[in-house]
Structure 1
Amino acid sequence: MPDSTDRRILRQLLAEPEASNAALAERAGVTTAALWRRLERMREAGVLRGVQARIDWRAMGWAVEVSLRVTLDKTNPRAFDEFLAALRQVPEVIEIQSFLGSVDWRASVIARDMAHWQQVYRDRILTLPHIAELDALMLVATIKDSGELAL
């Protein structure tokens, strides 16, 4: 379990993930060697799962983002596996999540514009197998997207 120093390091890492280890160590109040050891220990414990780039799809020309909520026809025992395999083949799908409850799957889909979205929806989404219910929610604004908790 991370202690107060680990949480301080994590706060600094979240605030500026591209900072050097020396800068992170200074802001967290530890030596560079201690920072490295603590980061390595948190990686081994699964607290840190890696560092990843976050792409702003809108800046890359993908202006439309839609959240799909899907409920499957569960009368087919292979419905989940077949649906997931087909959904993974849609290149515009950037995130897939599975749920317990009335919604089985949620997927984030991006498109260049509304015409592209209509094509993806008609040709790739509506042809997915075993869909009983499908709800498409168009993203208007992202209010919070930090993934942070109070450390």
Structure 2
Amino acid sequence: MSAPLLPDETDLAILRALQADATRSTPALGRELGLSQPAVWRRIRRLDEAGILAGRKLDLDLEALGFGVTVFLGVKLGARGRVSLDDFERAITAIPEVQTVEHVLGLYDYRLRVVARDLADFERVLRRRVLTLPGVGNVEANVLLSEERLAGPL
């Protein structure tokens, strides 16, 4: 069994550049980092094969798409014995407005990020979709006022 890949400073520079803009070409990255295009491509492929690149995603401007409200929900399951965590996770991830589902330790069992067109739309999602799921006990909502995107340290 081989040792896990530990990224060096060049790998970290490539990862930071891709985090900022994953659409940049390998020649552009190479010019920026002082590497050849094949060297950048080999390093990206190695990082991908090692599982360090967990995927590629497109960030959408939710407000431009008509989703003006983001709410974080803390969900405490009420009937632990009656509904399994897998059943709850399967049901909650089927709701399209629920963007993220995080199983957490603390006051709540789950933290959800929910988007809606406006507060009335959020109330509809909450009442008709979230609160009707089996096992849902206590729910706390926090409306997002603003968001600052800070890149995490590598």
Both proteins in one fold, TM over 0.5: yes
Q: Work out whether residues 71 and 102 of structure 1, in 8 Å CA contact, stay in contact via their aligned partners in 2.
A: yes
What is the rounded CA distance, in whole Å, between the counterparts of 1:38 and 1:6 in structure 2? 7
Q: TM-score, normalising length from structure 2?
A: 0.88
What is the rounded CA distance, in whole Å, between the counterparts of 2:104 and 2:7 in structure 1? 29
Q: Does 1:68 align with 2:88?
A: no
- CA-CA distance at 1:108 after TM superposition: 0.9
What aligned pairs does 1:104-143 form with structure 2 within 5 A after superposition? 104-143=109-148
Q: 1:56 aligns with which of 53, 57, 61?
A: 61
Structure 2 unmatched runs, 5+: 1-5
SS at match of 1:101: coil
Q: 1:23 aligns with which of 28, 49, 52?
A: 28
SS at match of 1:107: strand
CA-based RMSD of the aligned residues comes to 1.6
Which residue does the alignment assign to 2:3?
Answer: none
Structure 1 unmatched runs, 5+: none
Which residue does the alignment assign to 2:102?
Answer: 97
Question: What is the aligned-residue identity percentage?
Answer: 38
What is the rounded CA distance, in whole Å, between the counterparts of 1:78 and 1:115 in structure 2? 29
Q: Work out whether residues 96 and 105 of structure 1, in 8 Å CA contact, stay in contact via their aligned partners in 2.
A: yes
- CA-CA distance at 1:2 after TM superposition: 0.4
What is the rounded CA distance, in whole Å, between the counterparts of 2:150 and 2:91 in structure 1? 28
What is the rounded CA distance, in whole Å, between the counterparts of 2:149 and 2:39 in structure 1? 32
SS at match of 1:58: coil
Q: Work out whether residues 12 and 28 of structure 1, in 8 Å CA contact, stay in contact via their aligned partners in 2.
A: no
- Decide which moves more: 72-81 or 120-129: 72-81
What is the rounded CA distance, in whole Å, between the counterparts of 1:2 and 1:75 in structure 2? 42
Letter in 2 for 1:16: D
- CA-CA distance at 1:15 after TM superposition: 2.6
Q: Work out whether residues 96 and 108 of structure 1, in 8 Å CA contact, stay in contact via their aligned partners in 2.
A: yes
Q: TM-score, normalising length from structure 1?
A: 0.90
SS at match of 1:26: helix
Count of paired positions: 149
SS at match of 1:30: coil
What is the rounded CA distance, in whole Å, between the counterparts of 2:45 and 2:82 in structure 1? 42
Q: Work out whether residues 71 and 114 of structure 2, in 8 Å CA contact, stay in contact via their aligned partners in 1.
A: yes
